[in-house]
Amino acid sequence: MRLSRFFLPVLKETPSDAQIVSHQLMLRAGMIRQEAAGIYAWLPLGLRVLRKIETIVREEQNRAGAIELLMPTLQPADLWRESGRYDDYGKEMLRIVDRHERDLLYGPTNEEMITEIFRGYCRSYKDLPKILYHIQWKFRDEIRPRFGVMRGREFLMKDAYSFDLDLESATKAYNKMFVAYLNTFARMGLKSVPMRADTGPIGGKLSHEFIILAETGESEVFCDARLVDMPAPGEVDFDGDLQPLVDQRTALYAATEEMHDAARFEADVPEERRVSARGIEVGHIFNFGTKYSDPMKALVTGPDGKDTAVHMGSYGVGVSRLLGAIIEASHDENGVIWPEAVAPFGAGVINMRAGDEACDAASTDVYAKLDAAGLEPLLDDTNERAGAKFATMDLIGVPYQVVIGPRGLKEGKVEVKIRASGERHELSLEDAVNRLV
Ligand code: ATP
Ligand code: MG
Ligand code: MG
Ligand code: MG
């Protein structure tokens, strides 16, 4: 991509209505634009990152054996009347009436609809187990939308749903998602901590929120420091026994405010390892048994010939919220520092003197080589002054910058800057390319 042809409306001033750094940087870097409270247009730069995050989430879901489909954003209210949630959900649900006076709603989540789909086709234990997921926009009329995409009203969520014959099998599905989530967030350069979450009236132990520690997080959290530094499982056999991997983590204390037990925290965790901090909920997994399959009659015939309600779980990831979470975890005073896996462009090429024959030729050459290597480079071929060019590249957080100017070129040299560390290297054109590809 050439910057002169791209659409990158960067702002010089920090918008006064943005309270946290990720929101400020997303506005300044021209990633999003607010269209109404908690409702954003994704500008080209923001969209590129959103798609990268979405792809990582999708790859890890697929790896864990989940199957992708796509459900609509609008849902008939009658489905929610069947489960009994239509009245319970309250004002967070956006209710819509169509021209035939039929009640619809913009889905805040999809348990009812997926249960309806499942019961339409699956009748036997032989159809089990199944994990189905989609990545779709949700709407929740949050009372206080804030912090940009962190708490939007319209937001992108990955939600998966598992179907099993019994709790034992449902636990295996839960473990798959548990491990997939750890790997998903680690690939984005995040340290996620699974924390015991409230299971409400359903009870049981199978609910965890995945939390990213950050000062600006909305939840107060408590955990054992060993959990924060534990590496993600990485490659595992999803058909094998994942229980030890899960147990290794759930054995260590970790709870959000609602589940926190101060006495147990102090008894279980020595003082030097007690982390009490703030965190961002980026994922939530939940086994809820037959909560929806019972009232909605999603029954399967077991090997014994008897019909039973299918055991279910749901597993959410805040795909759009993750942009904010990653920026909160990775930025400096000059802008965003994208982890390579989610960066909108893999490298920036800065032509310091657009119009100068040697600079133009070298820049296009480096650009073409990085492009051919699949790095998705951004070439700054504009006539801006040097300071502004550096500032923009730093702001949008491209991991590597290749700076090409007339003085260096005379000696056959360009400069490679590593955004995260600020390190600079004077290299030949060839070495610069080789270093990045
Ligand atoms: P929160 O406690 O932040 O309100 P939640 O517990 O209501 O979130 P879930 O129903 O668990 O959310 O939804 C799954 C995931 O969707 C959450 O873990 C979060 O990452 C994301 N999410 C929820 N609400 C929003 C929102 N308003 N804006 C952006 N992402 C959201
Ligand atoms: Mg909520
Ligand atoms: Mg929550
Ligand atoms: Mg939640």
Q: Whose CA is nearest to atom 11 of ligand 1?
A: 284
Span 276-290, average pLDDT: 97
Counting ligands in written order, the one closest to the CA of 316 is: 1
Span 254-264, average pLDDT: 95
pLDDT band at residue 208 under the 50/70/90 scheme: very high
Q: Whose CA is nearest to atom 1 of ligand 1?
A: 281
- CA–CA gap between residue 198 and residue 432 (Å, rounded): 52
How confident is the model at residue 96, as a pLDDT? 98
Instruction: List all residues 6 or more positions away from 30 whose beta carbon is below 8 Å from its beta carbon.
Output: 7, 8, 9, 10, 11, 43, 45, 46
- The finding on whether 138 has its CB within 6 A of some atom of ligand 1 is no
Q: Whose CA is nearest to atom 22 of ligand 1?
A: 318
Distance 157 CA to ligand 1 centre (A): 8
Q: Whose CA is nearest to atom 18 of ligand 1?
A: 283
Q: What is the pLDDT of residues 176-189, one digit of tens each?
A: 999 999 999 999 99
SS3 letters across 263-329: HHHHHHCCHHHEEEEEEEEEEEEEEEECCCCCCCCCEEECCCCCEEECEEEEEEEEHHHHHHHHHHH
Q: What is the pLDDT of residues 341-366, one digit of tens each?
A: 999 999 999 999 999 999 999 999 99
Q: What is the pLDDT of residues 382-414, one digit of tens each?
A: 999 999 999 999 999 999 999 999 999 999 999
Of 297, 171, 298, 189, the residue nearest 242 (C-alpha): 171
Residue 415 has pLDDT above 90, yes or no: yes
Q: Whose CA is nearest to atom 8 of ligand 1?
A: 281
Q: Whose CA is nearest to atom 25 of ligand 1?
A: 151
How confident is the model at residue 184, as a pLDDT? 98
What tokens appear for 399 in the block? 């991991």
Phi, psi of 77 (to 5 degrees): -60, -30
Distance 255 CA to ligand 3 centre (A): 12
Ligand 1 pocket test, candidate residues 92, 157, 317, most atoms within 8 A of CB: 157
Ligand 1 pocket test, candidate residues 284, 314, 320, 322, most atoms within 8 A of CB: 284
Q: Whose CA is nearest to atom 26 of ligand 1?
A: 151
- CA–CA gap between residue 182 and residue 175 (Å, rounded): 11
How confident is the model at residue 342, as a pLDDT? 98
- The finding on whether 151 has its CB within 6 A of some atom of ligand 1 is yes
CB 367 within 8 A of CB 349: yes
Span 323-333, average pLDDT: 97
How confident is the model at residue 294, as a pLDDT? 97
Distance 127 CA to ligand 2 centre (A): 33
* CA 318 to ligand 1: nearest atom: 20
CB 142 within 8 A of CB 92: yes
Q: Indicate the average pLDDT of the chain.
A: 97
Query: pTM of this prediction?
Result: 0.97
- The finding on whether 38 has its CB within 6 A of some atom of ligand 1 is no
Residue 205 has pLDDT above 90, yes or no: no
Ligand 1 pocket test, candidate residues 181, 321, 323, 326, most atoms within 8 A of CB: 321
Span 307-332, average pLDDT: 98
Of 157, 139, 117, 136, the residue nearest 285 (C-alpha): 157
Q: Whose CA is nearest to atom 23 of ligand 1?
A: 318
Residue 34 has pLDDT above 80, yes or no: yes
Phi, psi of 320 (to 5 degrees): -70, -35
How confident is the model at residue 51, as a pLDDT? 98
- The finding on whether 208 has its CB within 6 A of some atom of ligand 1 is no
pLDDT band at residue 63 under the 50/70/90 scheme: very high
Instruction: List all residues 6 or more positions away from 85 whose beta carbon is below 8 Å from its beta carbon.
Output: 112
- The finding on whether 279 has its CB within 6 A of some atom of ligand 1 is no
- The finding on whether 158 has its CB within 6 A of some atom of ligand 1 is no
Counting ligands in written order, the one closest to the CA of 280 is: 1
